Amino acid sequence: MRLKTLYIRFFRSFNFDYLRKSRDGAEPDAWDELGEDSKFFPFVRIPLESDVTTVVGANEAGKSQLLYAIEALLTGEGAGKEDFCRYSTEFNEDDAPDLPEFGGEFVDLTDEERAAVAGIKDWELADFESFHLFRFHDRVVVYVGDESEELEALPSTVVLPKSFRIDARIPLPDSIEIAYLAGEQNSKSRTRPAWLDRMRWVREHPESLEAAASGANRPTYDGPDENPDDELLGQWELARRLLTDVAGITEGEFAELKTAVHTSEGYAEALVDKMNQKLADSLNFKRWWTQDTDFALRLRLRDFDLVFTIRDRTGSDYTFKERSQGLKYFLSYFVQYLSHDPDEEGLLLLMDEPDAFLSNSGQQDLLRIFEAFAHPEDDSDPVQVVYVTHSPFLIDKNHAERIRVLEKGEGEEGTRVVKNAGRNHYEPLRTALGGFVAETTFISACNLLVEGQADPVLLAGASSVARKIAPNGNALDLNTLTLVPCGGSGNVPYMAYLARGRDEDKPAVLVLVDNDKDGLDAAEAIRDMEGLLPDSLVFTVAATDEGDDREGIEELEDLIPISLANDAVQQLAKTVLSRQDAEKFCAAWKPVKAEAGQKLFKRLQAASKDASTSAGLTRPLGLDKVAFARSVIDLALDKEATKKIQSELYENFRPLLAVIEQKQREAMRDHAHAKISTILKRLRKNFVRDHPNAIRKNEATALLEGIEAQLPRDAAEADSVLDAMRRISRDLKLSDEPRALLADPQAFRDALDTLVYGVTNSVQAQ
């Protein structure tokens, strides 16, 4: 069973659907009427995706309250009189509900679940695929088709999905008591244990440790030196889940370790090494933490504690205190994911603002955990995910359909859901997030510069259509490629210079321009800036992966199927004109036909002007590229869109999408080369400055190891550098007599030059 639609009324900032109530001809559903007078108070409806739903909105828009509403619906608990919407006209009315009200539409029923609902009454609709359940303030009502049944409480046979939360506030602890892991959990309510007094005595009498070392009168330690508070207990429990539920280390093994701490230090360290091996085997952390592919989580023994440490690509170990807080919290989310038991915890995950402590890259990694919940690779049941965020980095731009933007109206209006928020290149996320950062700054590993604001709309929309009808075809990964509109062809060279021409660390950039005079002039201006970008990374909308340009394609709008373009103009008229004017416009519209050598959008503009004149409109329809692009994508992604028109749109855009994918890979290779070259130049320069004369072999070895530690491990281009460094080490016999002076230090400096400029030459040769 899955929750498809959530209904909320009179709950905190959710009053009722004021827009629907004010709409002409709006008909109430059976559950929308209130009281004996059947007042029309439509529930606010929030559709939820079957896999992942992302809830965004400005402060106080009701994002977190939506999660509480889901819990109240599923459990019938958690909402009291104090939660009734205080600015509602029904607040304190004599005949008003006493409590907020919630409802849900449930689908994907199993045979058992369908039978349980069928057992409530003899429904006329025998073979139903879904049902609605509403928790009104004084009763529960189940709806199947056009029928309903009022109940005092939901029968125990009808089991709704259980929700659970990944707690975003609990990080992994820096350390944990071994006694706790051995099953001797303590709590503040327990009587003070005898071992606590014994250990206090030992600490106050350090001379007893000498006797303990010799084995005489050795004290027994079996617990913490003070009762942990609730916050620390929460962290310890999370660590216990990691070590026992995920890594499979048993309480017996921890009990054995606790004993070994007193009897044999060497044996205790061996037990910890065994635990570290189990931890490494169970985590497979390389798959999830992209910021360091050599990352490892390890345990270290310290007195009666196990300390968590991090080993990174340098081979060094760090405690949590020496690393960023974000890593602790990501590990917390990761552990809660790995140790999740759907039989015990439920099949609907709720998470409130997990972005608080995570870096941009960490947030992108968290998206992959959500995806693993929703689409597990093993035989476990999929989990429906609903999470709330303020961050643009926690929005999966490949799945615009998952986004729900909440907006708070004026006065009594309350919170509403903004429709189609994810389409049209993520409008109105600008308002909800205070400006969608990804469109206006270079934030990703790779950035595609385009001419105008309409271009990202069409490219993102075409990719969404591609994923819908051709999951294995060509589509842009909008989580790794940022679409950056430049505000016109004249601004493209300057934006390219801003991105690549000033700083040492240059992001990966590729440039897409129109195949007209202005676009070609912009491309030529970029090529004239020597060294700014490889020529191959500047290309036009007519490019193909075979290298030939397509005839008749001058701008992205020329790739839109002609029938879809005509429908989009009429749809736009219905959106921006009054109903009467829109009817006149559509009646006067003469469909544009495909004509070689002419820009499609210019012909649509001319046809729009003619239709406005023929219809006698006082306010003619001004056709804007961005509005038109949005209308095109809305129609292409609408549930009523035909496979034929979607396939035609995809086939028209597919060659360009393939080229962009190819150029993105090339740009990332170029970026990797440039990054490697920068690292080599910096380390070589510092080394030569610090060693102007004699050089010891171990100093040369340390430099090569430092270079290796900083190379991007996910870049194939690093392999040639590693091979060259091995040759240097072998030729100069750096491992022989490591503290001896190099016989020819200049030969090592020359080898470093070859290493540095070999990378530079390989970049320029490609």
Say whether pLDDT at 511 is over 50: yes
Give the C-alpha separation, 749 to 399, whole Å.
51
- pLDDT attached to residue 716: 65
Question: pLDDT tier at 310 (50, 70, 90 boundaries)?
Answer: confident
**Tokens 């240059």 label which residue?**
506
pLDDT single digits (tens) 457-506: 999 999 999 999 998 899 999 888 989 898 899 999 988 888 886 555 67
pLDDT single digits (tens) 94-113: 778 989 999 999 999 999 99
Average pLDDT over all residues of the chain: 85
Considering only residues 441 and 358, tell me which one the structure prediction assigns the higher pLDDT: 358
- Pick from 106-110, 265-269, 279-283: least confident: 279-283
Say whether pLDDT at 210 is over 60: no
Q: Please state whether the predicted TM-score (pTM) of the whole model is above 0.85.
A: no
Please give the single-letter amino acid code of residue 401: E
Q: Which long-range contacts (CB under 8 A, 24 or more apart) does 413-416 make?
A: 413/15, 413/18, 414/13, 414/14, 414/15, 414/16, 414/18, 414/44, 414/62, 414/85, 414/87, 414/88, 415/13, 415/14, 415/15, 415/44, 415/57, 415/61, 415/62, 415/65, 416/17, 416/18, 416/19, 416/44
- pLDDT attached to residue 157: 94
Q: Which two tokens stand for residue 85?
A: 């919407």
Give the C-alpha separation, 73 to 65, whole Å.
12
Give the C-alpha separation, 731 to 747, whole Å.
10
- pLDDT attached to residue 444: 60
Residues 369-393 as b/e (b if ≥16 CB within 10 A, e otherwise) read bbebbbeeeeeeeebbbbbbbbbbb
Say whether pLDDT at 216 is over 50: no
- pLDDT attached to residue 190: 34
- Pick from 205-214, 381-390, 625-634: least confident: 205-214
Max mean pLDDT range (209-218, 530-539, 564-573, 736-745): 564-573
pLDDT single digits (tens) 387-436: 998 887 888 888 888 999 898 877 678 898 886 655 544 444 545 555 44
Dihedral, CA of residue 72, residue 74, residue 77 and residue 82, to nearest 10: 10
3-state secondary structure of 141: strand
Q: Which helix (H) or strand (E) holds 134?
A: strand 131-135
Give the C-alpha separation, 146 to 31, whole Å.
11
- pLDDT attached to residue 432: 55
Say whether pLDDT at 638 is over 70: yes
pLDDT single digits (tens) 733-749: 999 998 999 999 999 99
Q: Which helix (H) or strand (E) holds 678?
A: helix 643-690
**Tokens 């890594």 label which residue?**
247
For 653, half-sphere exposure in the C-beta direction (CA atoms, 13 angstrom radius) is 32
- pLDDT attached to residue 433: 53
- pLDDT attached to residue 184: 75
